[in-house]
Structure 1
Amino acid sequence: YLDHLAGIRDHRIEENLFTGIKAVGLAGLSNVSRDHGLLVEARKQYLAAIRLVNSALQSPVDSVKDSTLLVIMILSIFEALTGSNKQSLTTWVNHINGASALLKQRGSNQLATPKRRQMFLQIAFSLVTSCIQQQVPLPPHILQLSSEARIYADDCDDKAWGVLEIMVLFTEFHASIRGGTVSDPQAILDRALELDRMFEDALTDMPSGWGYKTVTADINDNHVFADYYHVYENGWVGQLCNGMRALRIMLNDTIRDVLLAGFSSKPPLFLTAEYTTQFQRSVEALYQLQSEIFASVPQHLDYSFKEDPSSSTSTYAGSPFSSDSSYTDIADDSSSGTFSSVSSLQPLIRTSSSYFPLWPLFVAGGMDITTNVARDWAIQTLRHIGQSRGVHQAYALADMLDKKENLIVWHRQQRS
């Protein structure tokens, strides 16, 4: 959703949005420079932004402005940047739930332009993660609005809306299992297989421009899991694909667990060869999905690449983690409500982009059958994101992976 800031150069923006952007910018600068004074100022801006948002929510006009919705999502990024413990995950969920309520209030009018539809989609995908952690289905108004939005969609947009609808079905299925309303092993297996096929088809049948390049890398590079990584033509597409892969991991983990329980039950279930074959397919799918998520991470960490004309793939070239990132322009901008240049927003957008792979990386690293090498790489990568990019929520997820804690179980304990 920070892409929506790209067009605000020299334009006056709402005070609440401006304040939220400064809060996130200062938090990022504080994290990378380890300057506690900047963090204190960032928290002041954060609290000021919350007060301004609460004031806007009291107005029937201001509450439905794009800036009000956008600042709520930006404040969720603030939590990701500054929160290094489990409680910050709950606060992040609260921001996402607030954005969901605002989507409902905004109604069908928010679907009238491509930019607004994209913002709706991006928030809805964040809401999927929130609902999974809370073990609840996606709210009905999200499905209703997404169905209305497909009237306006072109081929690429239609694909994204279709993916959202599958994710809605997943959250319903996941909540029904966790809530105990569906417990029959065969019913769980059949539905998990059906949803997995839907996601697999969506990942296979991608529109033009939704692909990625495979880039070769130094095998000794600790920030690349294998000897290659993937670079997507569109970063948002990479986020969408990783979201589907993370949910496919959860589905295939479920399929594997149900089959294992059936194999060992008395009397045993799933005795025919097709179930043994499916068990192996799910294991293979889990490792493949994990490798694809791992391969997507370097792009979020600013790895550069160049084309190799003699090869069908690309070749690693250049140093990752640009050292010229600075939030100085954001910190120095006046309170006039304008940014002096789009470039002053780039460090903010760059750091925030490292926030998006956190959930898929956590899911991939926490698979039941993950190897110690893969789990350790995921833990170290999360900690590296926390240290080098200032996204402190990565520390909380890394610690949970290290202790083999389940994020979903923890959220359930918090509600009890």
Structure 2
Amino acid sequence: MSRALVLFQEDLPICFFYQTTLDLLINADRARYLHLQLPTLFSRSEEGSALHLATQAISLAQLSRRRYSQSLAAMNVAIRDPAKVKSDDTLYAVLLLSGYETITFDSEALFAWGTHIDGAASLLRSRGRENFITPFACNMFLFIRRNSIQSCLQISKPIDPIFHGVSEMLSPYENVEDRLLSKAMRIPALQSLANNLLSQPSWDVDFSVASELIKNAETLDGELADWARSIPNTWSYTTVTRMSYPSTREESSSSFVPNQIHRYPDFYATRVWNLYRVYRLIIQSILLRTSPLVQSIPTAYDQSYIRIEKINRAMVDDICSSVPFLLGYDLSELKSARSLDDPQSPDEDYLWPQSCVRTYAAGRAGKFSLIWPLYVACSVISVPEPQRKWMRAQLKWIAATGEAHAHLVMDAESQTLLGGPESFRFDCV
């Protein structure tokens, strides 16, 4: 049941932020559960507290730089207080600040989101057992774990130890996404080890360590594939195969349109599926870079390369197939859309022709959740150039709608697949 914020007239923007955000979140998304706790936390917080000011900052968005600065100052005071540093209010205020930084992102604040996610993990360490004494605390822990995984993947740094060894306490609260994340949290450590091995001279590389790394990466990749095969039917997507229709011109090898288009139950499920695909792309990049360390026989490496590229192609194709749904296009009449086989020029093919109209508002959620998957996918070396250009065209279109994150990555190569840190960290809600 929805809750209501009891506020004064001057705080009406907070009500607007609360209700509009709630309307965009579905029940399965942990963010909705946490958002429902805001009225209780806000009503009991003191005016001038970190939570109170952070709520005002995120609600007023770009008009609230002053409130944001005040909330940062209040946060610095709170984390020095032995009682406040462990409180739910302080931890929730950090989540609001990271949300504010995502909403109002600009080039002057490239490092703010990552800094606050690191700070949230530090607060979890301070809280200790208090992280698991209430459902609310457990859900905040899981939410921060998700963001920490995203952050660590982007800098190839192992996830904080606070997130390990707590599965028994969290299992009652885990959903389908959390079961994926409980596996994905092992990827950053594999990235870090691979980078360490590859930084050494070839004659100094420990063969046994490299072999164990590859074995662990392949095992984890298999576990991720098992997650996809065992996903509940309510999370499954349907596939429409692109039909062949007469075109006003011949398709050329320089154009690209996805051969399949996916229809998902909701945006949240689509985002989680794309996270799964990105995770597998990152693992394939680890295997691709480290396999030569242990496979001196060319035929063995060739077989490994073929398997890696097969997985890469499937993951990239599936990310492309999710684009129309996340951009809010009506997929119910796809078979009648003749012009699906009549793409525009690669530079202008921002997505689907006018015969596929938007019948619901994609809003920011759909566009924003595409930035990270497309950015990583179009950086896979073996992707055909027409497909790469198509994906970059999607990023450019998203950037043109005002998404600053897309503007920064639309022409860049993802360093995540190359073993280097990204130039900045960002969320992909």
Asked if 2 retains the 8 angstrom alpha-carbon contact of 1:303 and 1:321, the reply is yes
Match of 1:257 among 277, 281, 289: 289
Q: C-alpha deviations, 1:288-331, integer Å up to 9, x for none?
A: 1112223334444344555999xxxxxx96426739xxxxxxxx
Partner of 2:253: none
Asked if 2 retains the 8 angstrom alpha-carbon contact of 1:253 and 1:368, the reply is no
CA 1:392–1:413: 2 relative to 1, 3 Å: closer
- The higher radius of gyration belongs to 2
CA 1:398–1:147: 2 relative to 1, 3 Å: farther
CA 1:140–1:11: 2 relative to 1, 3 Å: closer
Partner of 1:301: 327
**CA distance, structure 1, for counterparts of residue 265 and residue 286 of structure 2:** 32
Partner of 2:96: 74
Structure 1 stretch displaced more, 234-243 or 192-201: 234-243
Partner of 2:407: 395
Match of 2:70 among 44, 48, 51: 48
Q: More relative contact order in 1 or in 2 (CA 8 Å, sep 6+)?
A: 1
Q: Is 1:171 matched with 2:188?
A: yes
**CA distance, structure 2, for counterparts of residue 82 and residue 204 of structure 1:** 37
Partner of 1:338: none
In the TM superposition, 1:249-288 aligns within 5 A as 249-259=281-291, 269-272=296-299, 275-288=301-314
Q: Is 1:138 matched with 2:159?
A: yes
Match of 2:361 among 322, 327, 334: 322
Give the drift of 1:198: 1.5
CA 1:7–1:137: 2 relative to 1, 3 Å: closer
Match of 2:420 among 396, 409, 413: 409
Amino acid at match of 1:381: Q
CA 1:218–1:384: 2 relative to 1, 3 Å: farther
**CA distance, structure 2, for counterparts of residue 397 and residue 188 of structure 1:** 30
Question: Sequence identity of aligned pairs in percent?
Answer: 23
Q: Is 1:20 matched with 2:47?
A: no
CA RMSD between the two structures: 4.0
Q: Is 1:191 matched with 2:225?
A: no
Structure 1 stretch displaced more, 139-148 or 230-239: 230-239
CA 1:303–1:25: 2 relative to 1, 3 Å: farther
Secondary structure at the aligned position of 2:302 is classed as helix
Match of 1:211 among 204, 218, 236: 236
Q: Is 1:97 matched with 2:136?
A: no
Asked if 2 retains the 8 angstrom alpha-carbon contact of 1:217 and 1:227, the reply is yes
**CA distance, structure 1, for counterparts of residue 243 and residue 135 of structure 2:** 40
Give the drift of 1:232: 3.3
> TM-score, with normalisation over the residues of structure 1?
0.70
Give the drift of 1:280: 1.4
Secondary structure at the aligned position of 2:361 is classed as coil
Match of 1:291 among 313, 317, 323: 317
Secondary structure at the aligned position of 1:367 is classed as coil
Match of 2:398 among 385, 396, 413: 385
Match of 1:5 among 19, 35, 48: 35
Q: C-alpha deviations, 1:192-249, integer Å up to 9, x for none?
A: 22221111111211134222234689999xxx95265434335444333322221210
Match of 2:85 among 63, 79, 85: 63
CA 1:81–1:392: 2 relative to 1, 3 Å: farther
Amino acid at match of 1:174: Q
Asked if 2 retains the 8 angstrom alpha-carbon contact of 1:132 and 1:408, the reply is no
Give the drift of 1:286: 0.3
Amino acid at match of 1:57: I
Amino acid at match of 2:35: L
Aligned residue pairs, count: 355
Partner of 2:148: 127
CA 1:97–1:381: 2 relative to 1, 3 Å: same
Partner of 2:350: none
Amino acid at match of 1:58: R
Asked if 2 retains the 8 angstrom alpha-carbon contact of 1:131 and 1:138, the reply is yes
Asked if 2 retains the 8 angstrom alpha-carbon contact of 1:400 and 1:406, the reply is no
Asked if 2 retains the 8 angstrom alpha-carbon contact of 1:212 and 1:232, the reply is yes
Query: Structure 2: which 5+ residue stretches go unaligned?
Result: 1-29, 248-255, 336-354
